[in-house]
Structure 1
Amino acid sequence: MQANTEKSSVDLRVRRRLRELRTQQGLTLEDVATRARIDVSTLSRLESGKRRLALDHLPRLAEALSVSTDELLRAPEQPDPRVRGTAQTHNGITYWPLTRHGPAGGLHAFKIRVSARRRRPAELPVHEGQEWMYALSGRLRLVLGDDEFLIGPGEAVEFSTWTPHWFCAVDGPAEAIVIFGARGERVHLHE
């Protein structure tokens, strides 16, 4: 029983490693299959787990990917899960990224600190999308069209950004978590 578990563990590791190396190098299934002198459908089934890996595949696949057999057999590296990014300050708000600019459904999260000196613009911004905000500390004044709302710690808001909107800190700096799409990010951080 243990031998089967070890075999399936090695099989799984090689499948993942195959796909990881292939995609890192920007190669298609057909590219690797041609280089390894195996049928593209065989390689596809190997990667998807629909076919078991044979020992004679290993050296050819390693050669096709320009790695050693040991490199092909080793466990894939776990990417660093920490989000690293520098803070940006724009229009009285400092933004710290909480998500990478990658596949997050087009949404990006930031921790923000809103300065008490933030001034209301002549015209409130309007753009495509939705925004979410969760107040961590301090109080925020949210202006949505003709309405104003005071948001305290532990309170969350969600609103359409097609409504003219703006927010500021009340009685000192405030901190919050905000989530918005790429269009909202451009409006807040770059315009």
Structure 2
Amino acid sequence: MEAREMEPNYVNSRIGEKIKDLRNKNGLTQQELADRAELTKGYISQLERGQVAPSVVTLLDLIECLGTTPSEFFKETEEEHVVYSEGAFFEKIDEVGNSIQWIVPNAQQNQMEPLLVVVQPKEQLQEDKPHEGEEFGYVISGRIRLHLGDKSYVVKSGESFYFRANRNHFIENTGSRPAKFVWVSTPPTF
């Protein structure tokens, strides 16, 4: 914990910010919160600006009036990770050189799983059985043949595909150079 986080003014400011955020989320005015907690509007105003420190009893009353619990109130949320660099990617290369890169670490925990895939010439990826969800792809270079049930589709560089994954499906490269594409599955299945 940084020294700054231990300073009383910092703690008072964080408590005040959280109270103000919760008050606004609940659609309450300072006066309405003050009335519920049997405090004055001026005290709520000072509290939200970090100018006063509430007693433990007063803080617990305010937390209850705002419809939350002490554990939720003091829980620090991690900042959402948004950008991922190539160093964080996980790659699997099969025996013929086809490559699948998971370009968002731990995406299996999310609603969609983006992959960067390279299929070598005259090779194919393993067939997927029917599953719930949808799949999307965008071909960056080369071309692929998407087999979907008893039909197949050629998808060239600059084109995309989108389908419900309720049929057997797989991708092959019938061309003479590697095919590279982004493949997104929801929910994650790889």
Bin of the TM-score, shorter chain as denominator length: 0.5 to 0.7
Which of 106, 115, 131 is the equivalent residue of 1:110? 115
Q: Percent identity?
A: 17
Distance in 2 (alpha carbons) for counterparts of 1:16 and 1:176: 49
Q: For residue 55 of structure 1, what is the aligned residue in structure 2?
A: 51
Q: For residue 128 of structure 1, what is the aligned residue in structure 2?
A: 132
Q: Please report the TM-score for the alignment, with normalisation by the length of structure 2.
A: 0.54
Q: Is the 8 A contact 1:97 1:110 kept in 2?
A: yes
The 3-state SS of whatever aligns with 1:184 is: coil
The 3-state SS of whatever aligns with 1:87 is: strand
RMSD: 4.0
Runs of at least 5 residues in structure 1 that lack an aligned partner in the other structure: 1-9, 19-44, 65-75, 186-191
1:183 offset after TM fit, Å?
4.3
Q: For residue 101 of structure 1, what is the aligned residue in structure 2?
A: 106
Count of residues paired in the alignment: 136
Structure label with greater radius of gyration: 2
Asked if 1:157 is matched to 2:147, the reply is no
Task: State which drifts further: 94-103 or 147-156.
Answer: 94-103
Partner deviation per Cα, 1:60-97 (whole Å, 9 max, x = no partner): 89xx9xxxxxxxxxxx9896732422212247531222
Q: Please report the TM-score for the alignment, with normalisation by the length of structure 1.
A: 0.54
| Structure 1 residues 142 and 102: CA distance shift in structure 2, 3 A | closer
Distance in 2 (alpha carbons) for counterparts of 1:109 and 1:116: 22
Which of 121, 125, 144 is the equivalent residue of 2:148? 144
Partner deviation per Cα, 1:1-30 (whole Å, 9 max, x = no partner): xxxxxxxxx9xx836996xxxxxxxxxxxx
| Structure 1 residues 95 and 159: CA distance shift in structure 2, 3 A | same
Distance in 2 (alpha carbons) for counterparts of 1:161 and 1:137: 24
Q: Is the 8 A contact 2:107 2:188 kept in 1?
A: no
Partner deviation per Cα, 1:123-166 (whole Å, 9 max, x = no partner): 76322221101111001011111111111011111111111111
Which of structure 1's runs of 4+ aligned residues deviate more than 3 A? Answer: 13-18, 76-80, 90-93, 102-105
| Structure 1 residues 82 and 175: CA distance shift in structure 2, 3 A | same
| Structure 1 residues 80 and 154: CA distance shift in structure 2, 3 A | closer
Distance in 1 (alpha carbons) for counterparts of 2:16 and 2:101: 33
